[in-house]
Amino acid sequence: MRIRRVLEQGSVGSDVTVAGWARSVRSGKGVTFIALNDGSCLGGIQIVVGPELHNFEAVARLGTGSSLSVAGKLVESPAVGQRFELVAATVTVYQDATPDYPLQKKRHSFEYLRSIAHLRPRTNTFGALFRLRSFLSQAIHQFFGERGFLCVHTPIITGNDCEGAGELFRVTTLDPAALSRAPGGVDYSADFFGRATGLTVSGQLEGELFALAFGDIYTFGPTFRAENSNTPRHAAEFWMIEPEMAFADLAADAALAEEFFRYLCRRVLEECAEDMEFFTAHLDRGLMERIGKVAGTKFQIMEYGDAIVQLQRAKVPFVYPVKWGVDLQTEHERYLTEQVADGPLFVVNYPREIKAFYMRGNDDGRTVAAMDLLVPKVGEIIGGSQREERSDLLQCRMVEMGIPPEGLWWYLDSRRWGSCPHAGFGLGFERLIMYLTGMENIRDVIPFPRTPRHAEF
């Protein structure tokens, strides 16, 4: 039986069997206590082992990390610290953990735990984190499923070289030695796909094609960027959520983003309470209050132009100067969401020069229908836009930005027949987890992170 179920539904006096890993073994002369954890919940269960057990001596000497199963009777605990405890009738040891087990009964640094990423799921923090990650993943599918969105699996291997969202990882079966020797460039027509291919940097373009058939769709899958970014917010492999809605404008897009974000805040507070309390106590004292506030607040909307005015009026000094036309830096975003809005804030209608080719041009001729959702402590967490559905304007924009239209002929085809207004946004899954847990490094919210020079495990 899973320990979580025992603690939630177990009745005093019942016989139960649990299996897990010892977090702590405390031995007195006549009694040994084992804190047993099976990953189903943060707390684990206290096992009481008495000297009448035939293997009491061996059990009393077990090390932290040992795997064992325990059959016994559930009783009310006479001591404070837990409601129930399990009085062992039999203890079966699968394997003792020797003293060289890298996880000790003490606090370890996140840096050290990263170096033993194969073992860190057995710690409190990473247990709570990966339970929350799993829950959140399912909640995202539920959110869209309940609203009739189609889940689409966009390709991971792509031939698009010009999505404009970062460096591509090459995918090839050509001999690396021959590649470097190729005179006058590599002949990709001889490659596996008969063309140059790479790992996807976004499923958006394919997502749009499905939105123009199914109406409301979303993707939730892995994404790859070969940027040499060494920061706590970047990974070479991460997961992204990208909904897309046909017959929707920017306002509808922002409304969906708000509903989505508040839904997820509410769900983790309600259903990951124990783990959220752990994060609040150990990582970020203001966490649950902040998430709760977001879950219950109507988000504000501000024009980019007004945001610039607000920033120019600000009494605080910014490292990066502000004027109409510049992109907002994290320091600007945080000022707007923390000082001006004091809560989540959409900034909409950005200058077209600083945004992607597919964003819909506004009538003023100098802005596009883009939106960023800014949240306190982080800055931008969601970026989206209404897409340019007018074929001629889209092609003009691609030419202006140096993107060869012929490479995206199929994308442009979607604007040839039955084009319609549509909009969508993207949310980095790991950044969402960081926001919801207070974890400050993306390498600590992915099971086995891939970053420059790191592909271990």
Partner RNA sequence: UCCCCAUUAGCUCAGUCGGUAGAGCAGGUGACUGUUAAUCACCUUGUCCGUGGUUCGAGUCCGCGAUGGGGAGCCA
Which residues in the 76-95 window bind RNA by CB under 7 A? Answer: 77-82, 85, 87
- Give just the sign of the alpha carbon dihedral 349, 354, 359, 365: positive
Least Cβ distance, residue 441 to RNA (angstroms): 4
Exactly one of 9, 54, 99, 177 binds RNA (CB under 7 A); that residue is 99
The distance from CA 276 to its chain's CA centroid, rounded to whole angstroms, is 16
Exactly one of 53, 139, 162, 165 binds RNA (CB under 7 A); that residue is 165
Least Cβ distance, residue 183 to RNA (angstroms): 27
> What part of residues 268-297 is at the interface with RNA (CB under 7 A)?
none
Q: Measured from the CB atom, is 79 or 316 closer to RNA?
A: 79
Exactly one of 247, 320, 324, 448 binds RNA (CB under 7 A); that residue is 320
DSSP SS3 for 212: helix
Half-sphere exposure of 24 (CA within 13 A, CB side): 11
Examine residue 248 and tell whether it contacts RNA (CB under 7 A).
no
Q: Could you tell me which residues are beta bridge partners of residue 242?
A: 219
- Only one of the segments 110-118, 131-139, 174-182, 393-401 lies at the binding site for RNA (rule: CB under 7 A); that segment is 110-118
Query: Which of 380, 397, 390 is closest to 432 using CA atoms?
Result: 380
Query: Which of 359, 450, 434 is closest to 398 using CA atoms?
Result: 359
Residue type for position 9: Q
CB 208 within 8 A of CB 423: no
- Only one of the segments 1-9, 103-111, 210-218, 250-258 lies at the binding site for RNA (rule: CB under 7 A); that segment is 103-111
Rounded-to-10 torsion of CA 394, 399, 401, 402 = 140
> What part of residues 113-142 is at the interface with RNA (CB under 7 A)?
114
> What part of residues 205-244 is at the interface with RNA (CB under 7 A)?
225, 227-236, 238, 240
Q: How far is CA 433 from CA 159, 252, 398, in A?
A: 30, 25, 34
The number of beta carbons lying within 10 Å of the beta carbon of residue 346 is 24
CB 254 within 8 A of CB 301: yes
Exactly one of 123, 380, 391, 420 binds RNA (CB under 7 A); that residue is 380
Least Cβ distance, residue 327 to RNA (angstroms): 7
Q: Measured from the CB atom, is 341 or 381 closer to RNA?
A: 381
- Here the tokens at position 206 are 């394919």
Exactly one of 120, 131, 415, 443 binds RNA (CB under 7 A); that residue is 443
What is the pattern of x (binds RNA, CB under 7 A) and - over residues 382-401? Answer: xx------------------
Instruction: Count the site residues for RNA by CB under 7 A.
Output: 71
Q: Measured from the CB atom, is 413 or 440 closer to RNA?
A: 440
Least Cβ distance, residue 388 to RNA (angstroms): 16
Examine residue 317 and tell whether it contacts RNA (CB under 7 A).
no
- Only one of the segments 180-188, 214-222, 287-295, 376-384 lies at the binding site for RNA (rule: CB under 7 A); that segment is 376-384
Pairwise CA distance, residues 12 & 34, whole Å: 19
Q: Measured from the CB atom, is 249 or 380 closer to RNA?
A: 380
- Only one of the segments 102-110, 301-309, 393-401, 408-416 lies at the binding site for RNA (rule: CB under 7 A); that segment is 102-110
Examine residue 440 and tell whether it contacts RNA (CB under 7 A).
yes
> What part of residues 407-436 is at the interface with RNA (CB under 7 A)?
426-428, 430-431
Least Cβ distance, residue 235 to RNA (angstroms): 5
Least Cβ distance, residue 173 to RNA (angstroms): 26
- Only one of the segments 73-81, 135-143, 305-313, 338-346 lies at the binding site for RNA (rule: CB under 7 A); that segment is 73-81
Q: Measured from the CB atom, is 192 or 324 closer to RNA?
A: 324
Question: How many helices and strands, by DSSP H and E, does the chain display?
Answer: 14, 16
> What part of residues 8-27 is at the interface with RNA (CB under 7 A)?
24, 26-27
> What part of residues 341-360 is at the interface with RNA (CB under 7 A)?
none
Tell me the H-state helices in 3-123: 3-9, 56-60, 110-115
Examine residue 149 and tell whether it contacts RNA (CB under 7 A).
no
Q: What's phi and psi for 19, nearest 5 deg? A: -140, 140
What is the pattern of x (binds RNA, CB under 7 A) and - over residues 26-65? Answer: xxxxxx-x-x----------x-x------------x-xx-
- With b for 16 or more beta-carbon neighbours within 10 A and e for fewer, the 214-235 pattern comes to ebbbbbbbebbbeeeeeeebbb
The number of beta carbons lying within 10 Å of the beta carbon of residue 255 is 14
Pairwise CA distance, residues 209 & 201, whole Å: 17
Examine residue 266 and tell whether it contacts RNA (CB under 7 A).
no
Q: What is the largest CA-CA distance in the chain?
A: 84
CB 353 within 8 A of CB 325: yes
Q: Measured from the CB atom, is 100 or 406 closer to RNA?
A: 100
Query: Which of 281, 242, 213 is closest to 382 using CA atoms?
Result: 242
